[in-house]
């Protein structure tokens, strides 16, 4: 093959296939069937599945040999067909796609060994070696040790591959959402045996056990301690029983949203495990491949010599907003979205109205919900020049690479746009341009660190830039996050990276915000609460169901539903926002009030 597995993995993000067992089950082969033996008795079925994944965009096809070791096959009476089944598995995968397809020889755990069976650890290694030799002789491009559930299984896989050699291999483990095995072994423990090896794996994987959202925190942990390329293959969420059948309910779009986050963390191979289908892989490939050449993206962790770092400008001297924050004065900001066209007259007039009403700054989003609007930098600059009020510019990591983002940050410094809110950004799949490329060279933590270093006179390469920037660095936070442990951890990382204030997602449940405040109170970082005055009951439904990170309690929905006229509903939305501010005022440094449907009058009524 022209491109080796290792080379392809370095060149771009590789798309792996999805669940094999799920697809076999859908073709009316039940779980008491030996799926691996179907390589011999129903090869057309297996070939069709491989072809479906290849057509969907998979670049790596995994052989139907997960349980094709002597121990597992013996339970079905096929112990004497280890070599035949494994070689057939490779052949079917190879012949199902183009010549440049990569074939992963799947080898799962050895399986349960009955107590007092007389099977020794040496026997177990021998059984694994038998399977690996068959996969290698069959022509697999690399060995994929899948779903390794414990340190013992990792060690057994290592001991077996040492005897086979001369073929790349991947160790892919399965852990819980805390990054631990059922025995409490953490990721560092699972990786420990590799330190003493001379025959090292090509990559490390995480697969099975967790859905796309839960696997994200594991990928984050692994990316910080693992020097090998990472492959991530989540399940399609958690299975549910529907009409006595096991169904995975996660949509391809939801699945892809999280896979893009893995890629943003630097993952080099992505695919699916249990419950994923060719539809999941098709959606994944369509979204990932346009960005894959640039996808060595991680939370940037720059190592810069202290001697090159200047002392940053004090918060109070960075901007008027910085001075108010430093003085612990109450902050009032209003969010105005850039126009879809290029005429800024209406936006400028709204900003002037806000200034006259005592607003401290205008918050300028950057492509909210992956929409395409006028440049937020130009919008911010024109507002500051023509309306005479400071702005808080959103800096989104989605649309520009590191070089472009650094250029923009330096441009902001030159233009006097000093108040920044750094966000990771929604993937294009969530917006009106789902086929647009997403860059994500860094996430909000990485970009916060980059801006913090620019504030000390050093760029992303560790080079001095002369005069340091004086950006006031803000970051986002979501008090409504389902995985609050992860949200809190990332918030702490943003603070450690250099964040000086936080603006939250719109808050309707004040208890969630107060709880979040108490978690971060010890860091003494100003928290500005996001407030969204509901314009109508329909607007409330939209916020509740279609805006990521926003939770609208049923009690709020009931209040909005009490009124029939749109004007009465708008008045109730304003009342709800005012009440929320009164309840949280002692916990936060200020509020950012959105202008629903562009109506700043509503925002200003909330602030009166």
Task: Write out pLDDT tens, residues 495-527.
Answer: 999 999 999 999 899 999 999 999 999 999 999
Model confidence band, residue 326 (pLDDT cutoffs 50, 70, 90): very high
Mean per-residue pLDDT over the chain, rounded: 89
Res 502: pLDDT: 98
Res 2: pLDDT: 43
Cα angle 10-462-294, degrees, rounded to a multiple of 5: 25
Q: Which of 183-187, 351-355, 396-400, 550-554 tops mean pLDDT?
A: 351-355
Average pLDDT of span 569-584: 95
Model confidence band, residue 147 (pLDDT cutoffs 50, 70, 90): very high
Res 242: pLDDT: 39
Cα angle 132-137-140, degrees, rounded to a multiple of 5: 75
Res 295: pLDDT: 41
- Percentages of the chain per state (helix, strand, coil), in multiples of 5: 45, 15, 40
Residue 474: alpha-carbon gap to chain centroid: 21
Bridge partners, residue 331, by sequence: 590
Q: How far is CA 113 from CA 146, 152, 282, in A?
A: 18, 13, 38
Tokens 């992963």 appear where? 104
Res 298: pLDDT: 44
End-to-end CA distance of the chain: 70
How many whole angstroms separate alpha carbon 454 and alpha carbon 497? 12
Within 165-299, residue ranges assigned H as helices are 187-191, 212-225, 252-264, 278-288
DSSP H helix total and E strand total for the chain: 24, 18
Model confidence band, residue 486 (pLDDT cutoffs 50, 70, 90): confident
Res 435: pLDDT: 62
Contact 159, 110 (CB under 8 A): no
Q: Which of 413-427, 486-500, 577-591 tops mean pLDDT?
A: 577-591
Does residue 42 have a pLDDT over 70? yes
Please give the structure tokens belonging to residue 232: 């991530």
Res 299: pLDDT: 47
pLDDT tens profile 425-450: 876 655 566 667 667 777 888 899 99
Model confidence band, residue 188 (pLDDT cutoffs 50, 70, 90): very high
Residue span(s) of the chain under CATH 3.20.20.220 come to: 306-607
- Closest residue by Cα to residue 447 from 374, 499, 369: 499
pLDDT tens profile 92-135: 999 998 888 999 999 999 988 877 778 898 999 999 999 999 99
Does residue 1 have a pLDDT over 50? no
Burial (Cβ within 10 Å: 0-12, 13-18, ≥19) of residue 105: buried
Does residue 9 have a pLDDT over 80? yes
The fold of 306-607 is TIM Barrel (3.20.20)
Does residue 398 have a pLDDT over 90? no
Q: How far is CA 271 from CA 259, 450, 460, in A?
A: 8, 31, 31
Residue 299: alpha-carbon gap to chain centroid: 11
Average pLDDT of span 301-305: 52
Model confidence band, residue 290 (pLDDT cutoffs 50, 70, 90): low
Model confidence band, residue 304 (pLDDT cutoffs 50, 70, 90): low
Size (the chain), residues:
608
**CATH architecture of the domain formed by 5-294:** Alpha-Beta Barrel (3.20)
Please give the structure tokens belonging to residue 80: 């004497």
Res 297: pLDDT: 39
Q: Give the three-class secondary structure for 315.
A: helix
Residue span(s) of the chain under CATH 3.20.20.330 come to: 5-294
Average pLDDT of span 364-390: 91
Does residue 588 have a pLDDT over 80? yes
Does residue 225 have a pLDDT over 70? yes
Higher-confidence residue of 331 and 293: namely: 331
Contacts of 157 (CB under 8 A, 6+ apart): 107, 128, 145, 148, 169, 171
Say which range, 41-50, 82-91, 305-314, has the weakest mean pLDDT.
305-314
Res 474: pLDDT: 98
Contact 282, 435 (CB under 8 A): no
Average pLDDT of span 260-265: 89
Q: Give the three-class secondary structure for 584.
A: helix
Average pLDDT of span 283-301: 61
């Amino acid at each position: 093959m022209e491109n080796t597995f290792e080379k392809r993995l370095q060149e771009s993000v590789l798309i792996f296939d999805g669940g094999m067992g799920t697809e076999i089950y859908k073709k009316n082969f039940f779980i008491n069937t030996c799926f691996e033996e179907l390589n011999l008795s129903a090869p057309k079925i297996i070939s069709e599945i491989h072809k479906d994944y290849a057509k969907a965009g998979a670049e790596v096809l995994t052989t139907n040999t997960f349980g094709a070791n002597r121990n597992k096959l013996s339970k079905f009476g096929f112990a004497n067909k280890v070599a035949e089944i494994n070689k057939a598995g490779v052949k079917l995968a190879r012949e199902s796609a183009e010549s440049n397809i990569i074939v992963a020889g799947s080898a799962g755990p050895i399986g349960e060994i009955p107590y007092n069976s007389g099977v020794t650890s040496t026997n177990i290694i021998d059984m694994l070696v038998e399977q690996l030799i068959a996969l290698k002789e069959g022509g697999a491009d690399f060995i994929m040790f899948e779903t390794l559930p414990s340190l013992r299984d990792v060690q057994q896989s290592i001991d077996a591959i040492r005897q086979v050699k001369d073929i790349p291999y991947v160790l892919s483990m399965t852990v819980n959402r805390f990054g631990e095995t059922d025995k409490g072994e953490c990721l560092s423990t699972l990786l420990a045996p590799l330190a003493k090896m001379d025959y090292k794996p090509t990559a490390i994987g995480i697969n099975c056990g967790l859905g796309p959202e839960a696997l994200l925190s594991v990928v984050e942990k692994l990316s910080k301690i693992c020097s090998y390329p990472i492959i991530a293959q989540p399940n399609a969420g958690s299975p549910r029983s529907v009409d006595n059948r096991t169904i995975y309910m996660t949509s391809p779009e939801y699945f892809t949203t999280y896979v893009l986050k893995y890629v943003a963390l630097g993952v080099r191979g992505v695919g699916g495990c249990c419950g994923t289908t060719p539809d999941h892989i098709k959606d994944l490939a369509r979204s990932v491949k346009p960005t894959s050449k640039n996808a060595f993206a991680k939370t940037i962790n720059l190592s810069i010599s202290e001697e090159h770092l200047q002392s940053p400008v004090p918060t109070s001297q960075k901007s008027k907003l910085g001075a108010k924050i430093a003085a612990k004065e109450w902050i009032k900001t209003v969010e105005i979205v850039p126009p879809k066209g290029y005429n800024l007259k209406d936006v400028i007039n709204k900003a002037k109205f806000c200034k006259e009403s005592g607003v401290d700054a205008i918050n300028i989003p950057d492509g909210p919900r992956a929409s395409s609007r006028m440049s937020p930098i130009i919008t911010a600059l024109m507002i500051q020049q023509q309306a005479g009020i400071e702005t808080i510019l959103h800096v989104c990591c989605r649309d520009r690479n590191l070089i472009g983002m650094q250029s923009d940050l330096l441009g902001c410094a030159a233009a006097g746009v000093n108040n920044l809110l750094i966000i990771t950004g929604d993937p294009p799949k969530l917006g009106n341009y789902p086929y647009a490329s997403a860059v994500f060279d860094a996430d909000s933590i990485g970009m916060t660190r980059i801006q913090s270093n620019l504030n000390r006179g050093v760029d992303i390469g560790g080079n001095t830039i002369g005069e340091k920037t004086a950006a006031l660095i803000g970051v986002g936070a979501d008090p409504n996050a389902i995985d609050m442990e992860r949200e809190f951890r990332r918030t702490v990382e943003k603070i450690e990276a250099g964040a000086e204030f936080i603006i939250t997602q719109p808050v309707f449940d004040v208890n969630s915000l107060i709880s979040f405040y108490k978690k971060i109170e010890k860091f003494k970082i100003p928290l500005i609460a996001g407030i969204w005055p509901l314009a109508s009951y329909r607007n409330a439904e939209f916020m509740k169901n279609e805006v990521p990170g926003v939770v609208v309690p049923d009690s709020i929905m009931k209040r909005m539903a009490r009124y029939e006229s749109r004007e009465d509903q708008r008045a109730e939305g304003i009342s709800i926002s005012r009440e929320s501010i009164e309840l949280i005022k002692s916990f936060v440094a200020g509020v950012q009030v959105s202008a629903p449907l562009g109506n700043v009058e509503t925002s200003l009524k909330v602030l009166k």
